Each structure stands twice: as C-alpha cells, then as structure tokens.
Structure 1
C-alpha cells in the first residue's frame, strides 16, 4: 500500500500550541491524489490527539500543497509543553507513514 511518503514531503511548524503541517506533493498527479485522500477528517483520525478545535485544511494548488492546522496538538507549545517534541517535527514524520486509501481513478 502506498503512503504519503511515496508522493510528498511534509514540513512541520508551530504557532503556540497549534501544529501546522504542510504536505508538498512531488507532482500534479500526486497532488490530485492527496487532495482527494487527505481531508481534515482523515488527518484528525490519523492523529489521536486531544485537539482544542477541529483540524482545518487549506489548499494551495499553485504550490501543489495542502496545509493542515491541528489546534492544541502541541500541548502548550514549544515553551509550555512537557513533551520532548514541542515543535512537532516527529508528528510530520507520522503523517508520512499514513496509508493512502485510493479510489480506482488514482490506482497505479
């Protein structure tokens, strides 16, 4: 089964305790697949975290990117969280491991 890592790179950032994940597709067909599969709901299901608000998705087709925000994912933010990964860098790696359930028009 294909994963996000097969067709994209992921960068992580933070704003307070909000995790920001940018998924950067490697080509147009990968962007089309990711746009179909990576929804706010699928991202929320992949991250079983106690979020303070719903996951949001912003589409940036000119850059072939999807940007997700996960409010509260960092448990207080870089300076306030007791976790080792206050910036959420390992959480971006976790997204790369997400399986891509594809529809027939995206099968390879």
Structure 2
C-alpha cells in the first residue's frame, strides 16, 4: 500500500449551491473508484474541512461516471452574494479535497 494525496490519482470539480459547497471526485478507473468508496467517506470529508464546513456532509455515489459527489452544508458563510469568504463560489473545495491522503494498493498506481 502507498499513501498518496488524491490529487495524484483523481480529479475534482466544485462549486456552490447557496451556502453549500458541491464537490465531485472522479476516479480514473473502476478499481480506484472502489478504493475511494471505502476511504473517502462523508465523515472523512467533514473532518478534512474542519473549521470550514459547519453543517453536515452528504455523499452520493455516481457509479456510471466513477464519481463521488459531496454536498457540504453551511460551507460558504452565507451565499455567493453575502459571504465574506474569499472563495465565495466554493471553487477551491475540489482542490482542497484533492489534498486528502488515501491508501492505494501499489499495483493500482501504475494503471
């Protein structure tokens, strides 16, 4: 097993939904998608965003595109028009999630 940041094996996209941030994590193949399903839980994402996400984190599986979608409630300090946060549209959340570390079987790192 190798410990890697998600950025080494995945892609992400994020944005805002009112005061919530919406993050989608994309796996490059089915094998890594299965690893992500086990390790990138709503609880771990909530912990990863400690001090930023004040509400609940919900995870949705989107297997047809090998993705996990996270809805992080109360993450933007209001909505895009009223928040004082620098990232008022939640665009940095995807890049931030990609810094999370996961354990990947070494044989999957070369796929």
Say whether the fold is shared (TM-score over 0.5): yes
Residue in structure 1 matched with residue 79 of structure 2 by the alignment = 77
Q: TM-score, normalised on structure 2?
A: 0.87
Query: Of residues 2, 6, 9 in structure 2, which corresponds to 1:7?
Result: 9
Q: Distance in 2 between matches of 1:15 and 1:89?
A: 11
Aligned to 2:95: 93
Map 1:18-97 onto structure 2 (within 5 A). 18-48=20-50, 49-52=52-55, 54-97=56-99
RMSD: 1.2
Following TM superposition, the consecutive aligned residue runs of length 4 or more in structure 1 with deviations greater than 4 angstroms are none
**Deviation of the 1:77 alpha carbon:** 1.4
How many angstroms apart in 1 are the aligned matches of 2:77 and 2:27? 28
Partner secondary structure for residue 38 of structure 2: helix
Cα shift readout 1:16-70 (whole Å, capped 9, x = no counterpart): 0000000011111111111111001000000012513x21000011110000000
> TM-score, normalised on structure 1?
0.89
Specify every segment of 5 or more residues in structure 1 that has no aligned partner in the other structure, as ranges. none
2:21, 2:72 within 8 Å by CA — same for their partners in 1?
Answer: yes
Structure 2 spans left out of the alignment, 5+ residues? 107-111
Q: Identify, as 1 or 2, the structure richer in strand.
A: 2
Matched residues, number: 103
